[in-house]
Amino acid sequence: MTDFSKVSIVVPIFNEERTIRQVIERIETADTCGLEKEIILVNDGSSDKTQEILNTYKNRFKICSYSKNLGKGAALKAGFGLISGDIVIIQDADLEYSPEEYKILIAPILHGEADVVFGSRLLTDRPHRVLYFWHSIFNKWITVFSNMLTNLNLSDMETGYKVFTKRILDNVSPKLESKRFGFEPEFTARIAKLAKAGKCKIFEMGISYHGRTYKEGKKIGFKDGIETLYCIIKYNLFST
């Protein structure tokens, strides 16, 4: 087993007063295969009571806050600048992804088989909430389009669960540009280039998915889909 001692969990947060306490509690109790946990909370300009809630954790976790909403990519990059762990987990602040599955996601890295792990909502027999048909079709299509340019065979490029080593982060983070949900295709494009150069091994692990409706707080929309297409083209064809 490869020598790792700490996992850094970066949580971008925007208007999640309803879920953030429960997410933090589940992160704290999650099994990380004996690795120490570092929890980094990034408040991305929330206008609800998110910051008030985060203030109650200021003596326990690293907290970064913006007064203006900048987007998931910008929040993640701010969080990446605070990590001290050997492995990084991106954890959304809603309840769509289960921290109880950390041990599944980090296992290939701990065993030296992977440098990056995508948590796939499709390659799995785990619980999966039934929601929007056209969203699922678009996610599959956008993954295929991304795969055509990266030459990867991912099943779920858009997944919120991406786990990677600090070495990979150090290589990729200085180059990251996307401020919103374009982070997903940009990150994928950049690690695909590392994989092509023989510097990165990528795995997928099946996860459960407890999706939300828009009424429950789902945020990604049509404009983000257009941005995703743009980012796939830009970061695969016109970026180093």
Tens-digit pLDDT profile for residues 174-188: 999 999 889 999 999
User: Which pLDDT score is estimated for 220?
Assistant: 65
Distances (CA, A) of 177 to 9, 39, 78, 150, 236: 21, 23, 12, 18, 13
pTM as predicted: 0.93
pLDDT one-digit tens code per residue, 192-214: 999 999 999 999 999 998 876 66
pLDDT at 130 over 80: no
Whether the per-residue pLDDT at 135 is higher than 80: the answer is: no
Q: Where are the beta strands (DSSP E) in the chain?
A: 6-13, 36-44, 62-66, 87-90, 116-120, 162-165, 202-206
pLDDT tier at 218, thresholds 50, 70, 90 = low
Please choose, from the candidates 97, 64, 99, 94, the residue with its C-alpha nearest in 3D space to the C-alpha of residue 79: 64
Q: Which domains does the chain have, with CATH numbers?
A: 6-237 (3.90.550.10)
Q: What is the mean pLDDT of residues 10-21?
A: 96
